[in-house]
Amino acid sequence: MTPELIKQALRNVRYPGFSRDIISFGLVKEVRCEAGSTQVDIEVQTKDPAIPEQIFKECHAALDELPDVGEVKINIDIKDAPTGAAEANTGKSSIPGVKRVVAVASGKGGVGKSTVASNLAIALAATGARVGLCDCDLYGPSIAMMFGSHERPSANERDEIIPINAHGLKLMSMGFLLEDRSPVIVRGPMATRYTQQFLRQVEWGELDYLILDLPPGTGDIQLTIVQTVAVDGVVIVTTPQEVALIDARKAVSMFAKVNVPIIGLIENMAWFECDHGTRYPLFGDAGGVREAERLNIPVLAQIPIEVPIREGGDQGKPIALNSIGTSNASLAFHQAAKSVIEAIPA
């Protein structure tokens, strides 16, 4: 028996009330396999005594039947006050009815997060999944435009905002709530409150995937979102040049600190292909791919620069709506969606 096999078995133990397991939450601190015995050290931050009890029981259920484990000893250290990264996760709560939450993030602005979030959402929905897309960018919302929707959402009797339906997705964006193009001026705590409200006071209903289009950067808003919602994984978007990679690296380390798993990286604007088929790596050649290797995370897609991608975004018809045979970019988004589903099945 090896600690790796034990950890693998513990991936079946979910944190009570969450869809995520105790390994990805970072609660398992150490596993020791000795002759005739296996010891697991777990740290839980909670005031609810039922939680460590249930984890204890489920760990035994997952390990006792394994061959060659010997005597299984589960040590649970219950911490009351939050102290480190782990509490950021255990303080999270999931959004009722939503099975999986996937954030799309980048450090640098303008690298194509909203484009990726929109197309990924459409490609996920094309597999039959029920998908929602939430534009968390209060300052520069773009999802409303990318879906060509200017409808104003209404509220239900519980005062929840009813999302807009477009291309088979449920959409919510600050862009739906703004008076024509007026800039939003919200600062610090208010921004945090708005974001919270956005995620929780929306009538999402039953969803397999909720995609969050995060604003650029690695600041408070991004942290609040990932710390207060049970984000199952994040897709990092970058362009191939160094200035974008530096910020992508920062984003990856921010998510690692709060124990949000990285699903993978999408290199956007990877090249431009001219009519004669020659590829020009305008922002550098495969910088994103090399960075992913360095960070040891999967590459989900390389998306070329294509005029139809930009046009699709401006005209409310994301490219992934095109049949995949007619567009390499559309094909790449549909493949990336498959990788997301494999990484975190609903």
Ligand X SMILES: Nc1ncnc2c1ncn2[C@@H]1O[C@H](COP(=O)(O)OP(=O)(O)OP(=O)(O)O)[C@@H](O)[C@H]1O
User: What minimum distance in Å lies between the beta carbon of 259 and ligand X?
Assistant: 24
Binding span for ligand X by CB under 6 A among 10-18, 137-145, 222-230, 246-254:
137-145
Residue among 229 and 303 whose Cβ is closer to ligand X: 303
Report the residue from 94, 177, 306, 346 that binds ligand X according to the rule CB under 6 A: 306
Question: Distance of CA 236 to CAs 14, 42, 111, 218, Å?
Answer: 25, 30, 10, 12
Residue among 20 and 317 whose Cβ is closer to Mg ion: 317
Burial per residue of 76-110, b for 16 or more beta-carbon CB atoms within 10 angstroms, e otherwise = beeeeeeeeebbbbbebebbeebbbbbbbbbbbee
Do 42 and 6 meet the contact criterion of CB atoms below 8 Å apart?
no
Residue among 21 and 306 whose Cβ is closer to ligand X: 306
Asked if 321 touches ligand X (CB under 6 A), the answer is no
Residue 155: CB atoms within 10 A of its CB come to: 12
302 binds, among Mg ion, ligand X, none (CB under 5 to 8 A by kind): none
Question: Distance of CA 307 to CAs 33, 197, 274, 325, 327, Å?
Answer: 56, 36, 11, 17, 11
Report the residue from 43, 137, 232, 291 that binds ligand X according to the rule CB under 6 A: 137
268 binds, among ligand X, Mg ion, none (CB under 5 to 8 A by kind): ligand X
Residue 305: CB atoms within 10 A of its CB come to: 19
Nearest-angstrom CA–CA distance, 128 and 138: 30
From residue 97 to residue 136, the character string flagging contacts with ligand X as x (rule: CB under 6 A) and all else as - is ---------x--xxxxxxx---------------------
Asked if 310 touches ligand X (CB under 6 A), the answer is yes
Binding span for ligand X by CB under 6 A among 28-36, 49-57, 72-80, 305-313:
305-313
Do 291 and 249 meet the contact criterion of CB atoms below 8 Å apart?
yes
- Taking the alpha carbons at both ends of the chain, their separation in whole angstroms is 30
Nearest-angstrom CA–CA distance, 72 and 281: 55
User: How many angstroms separate the most distant Cα atoms in the chain?
Assistant: 70
Number of H helices, E strands in the chain: 12, 12
Asked if 309 touches ligand X (CB under 6 A), the answer is yes
211 binds, among ligand X, Mg ion, none (CB under 5 to 8 A by kind): none
310 binds, among ligand X, Mg ion, none (CB under 5 to 8 A by kind): ligand X
Residues forming contacts to Mg ion in the complex (CB under 5 A) are 113-114, 142
Residue among 16 and 140 whose Cβ is closer to ligand X: 140
Residue 198 structure tokens:
């956005």
User: What minimum distance in Å lies between the beta carbon of 13 and ligand X?
Assistant: 37
Which residues ranging from 252 to 281 are in contact with ligand X (CB under 6 A)? 268-269
Chain positions contacting ligand X, by CB under 6 A = 106, 109-115, 137, 140, 142, 216, 268-269, 303, 305-306, 309-310, 313
